[in-house]
Amino acid sequence: MTMFNFQLKARGFEHAGIYNPQGVGGTHVMYVLHHANQPELYHGLPKDPQIDTSINLWKGALKPLAAAGFIATFAGLIYHYIGIGPNKETDDDEEDHHE
């Protein structure tokens, strides 16, 4: 029991505590609840929250793949510019003045 919880209980808040679920790896926000044993009473806070699978995928495997794709695209852009050069616009007026 932390000193904070002890102080709350000494002031008469038997079920008070800090809402910091382990399933999300910390919320970077300190929630002090009167009924920490029932977080769903407070605007539907989940009792045992979990991070969505798509977020875990993005932070895991997809982020390095996206970075590799960006680097490959940028390398292709540089290769195209050096190998072929910038687009050149042909002047249509020169072709029309044949008499």
pLDDT in tens, 18-72: 777 777 776 677 778 888 788 888 888 888 788 888 888 888 889 999 999 999 9
Nearest by Cα to 5 from 20, 25, 23:
20
Determine contact, residues 23/55, Cβ cutoff 8 Å. no
26, β-bridge pairs: none
Rounded to 5°, the CA angle 5-8-11 comes to 150
> Could you give the residue ranges of the DSSP H alpha helices within 11-60?
53-57
* Sequence spans of domains, the chain: 1-50, 52-86
CATH of domain 52-86: 1.20.5.480
Q: pTM of this prediction?
A: 0.45
State the pLDDT at residue 64: 92
